[in-house]
Amino acid sequence: MVIGCPKEIKVHEYRVGLTPSNVHEYKEAGHKIFIEHDAGSAIGFSDEEYHKAGAEIVDKETLFKQSDMIIKVKEPIESEYNYFKEGQTLFTYLHLAADRKLTDMLLEKKINAVAYETIKVRNVLPCLAPMSSIAGRLAVIESAKYIQKTFGGNGTLLSGIPGTPKGKVTIIGAGVVGLNAAQLAVGMGADVTILDIDTARLAYVDQIFNMRIHTLFSSRANLLSSIADSDVVIGAVLIPGAKAPKLVKKDDLQCMKVGSILTDVAIDQGGCFETSRPTTHDNPIFDIDGILHYCVANMPGAVAKTATLALTDSTLNFGLNIAKLGVKEAALKDSGILEGLNTYNGKCTYKGVSDAFGIAYTEAKEVLC
């Protein structure tokens, strides 16, 4: 198979879909690899390294025109749509439930799109987990920064110092993002509360943190009480492949402390705060009713070297399987890839995307057989 890895063009996105080491693996398996010029240069992967590993360095147009499968990091943006050709396979993060235009393009061009974030193996999301871990940790780091008075925050030091109160952090969701956020916030010395609707998960949180954080069932009353007393609120809710639920409403901001911050890690899936809108690393925050919002849609891009290594470790074997068998046979033989298939031959094959836009849904197995 001919595989192409283009340079990411989203604002301040420096990750890359394949490392030179990955290229070597694909080459050894008998595949042809195109890498766009300077695709990995921002994080120290030179064109020369890719060439030595067996890749051909080409321009974007040649790459898309000649590749059977495109391996990326972030979902394609509008300026990339015209490069895709009918029947191509796309392997990347997609977050389609928050992006109708991209969904329509993939269906119109009959792109066979496998989304990293919906690949599921034994009830785990192996290609999403590493980026969730990074995003959870960055959520605390960025919140601690932007709550400083110089950025319009309330001037709280999350750790406090002897004789002063600690900053209060509320984390909504006890999944991978939430646990990593809690780990860093506790490490900083903050007063941490985590909410979830799964009481077994909360018991697990109590156990691993040795009861050093507060756990609450995520009822409406508990949520409002917790955010009202918090300096930092981190949205870490995930429904795989579907739009995130809006758990904090606009009217709820009135009960929060002026200068506190809402950090929405779920923004890729539409966000879990009603007032959220995607921001960039250039302009990461905005203020509504005195409450700061941090809603950067590609948070791990800020630590692109670590993020690339973690991501490509998790995607490599799935990509090799698709390259070896083709997306149809790979999906039929590997239930993880089947779960990852969001569009195939002009059909929407992921229920969460279908529900988000009210478009026809076809079960993946049905369209493949």
Q: How many CA atoms lie within 13 A of 147 on its CB side?
A: 26
Rounded-to-integer distance, Cα 75 and Cα 315, Å = 15
334 dihedral zone (left: phi>0; alpha: psi -120 to 50; beta): beta
Residue 229 annotated as binding site? no
The residue among 59, 49, 42, 62 whose CA lies nearest residue 19 is: 49
Residue 237 annotated as binding site? yes
Residue 69 annotated as binding site? no
Rounded-to-integer distance, Cα 317 and Cα 223, Å = 40
Residue 353 annotated as binding site? no
Distance of CA 49 to the CA centre of its chain: 28
Residue 74 annotated as binding site? yes
Rounded-to-integer distance, Cα 209 and Cα 192, Å = 11
Annotated catalytic residue: which of 191, 268, 293, 334?
A: 268
* Residues ≥6 apart with Cβ < 8 Å to 199: 217
Residue 196 annotated as binding site? yes
Rounded-to-integer distance, Cα 160 and Cα 188, Å = 9
Residue 59 annotated as binding site? no
Structure tokens at 319: 């990509």
Residue 265 annotated as binding site? yes
Residue 355 annotated as binding site? no
Q: How many CA atoms lie within 13 A of 149 on its CB side?
A: 3
Residue 298 annotated as binding site? yes
Q: Is 95 a catalytic residue?
A: yes
Residue 334 annotated as binding site? no
Rounded-to-integer distance, Cα 234 and Cα 12, Å = 22
Annotated catalytic residue: which of 31, 68, 95, 293?
A: 95
Residue 220 annotated as binding site? no
Residue 264 annotated as binding site? no
Binding-site residues for substrate, in ranges, read 15, 74
List, as residue ranges, the binding site for NAD(+): 132, 196, 201, 218, 237-238, 265-268, 277, 296-299
Instruction: Specify binding-site residues.
Output: 15, 74, 132, 196, 201, 218, 237-238, 265-268, 277, 296-299
What residues are annotated to the active site? 95, 268
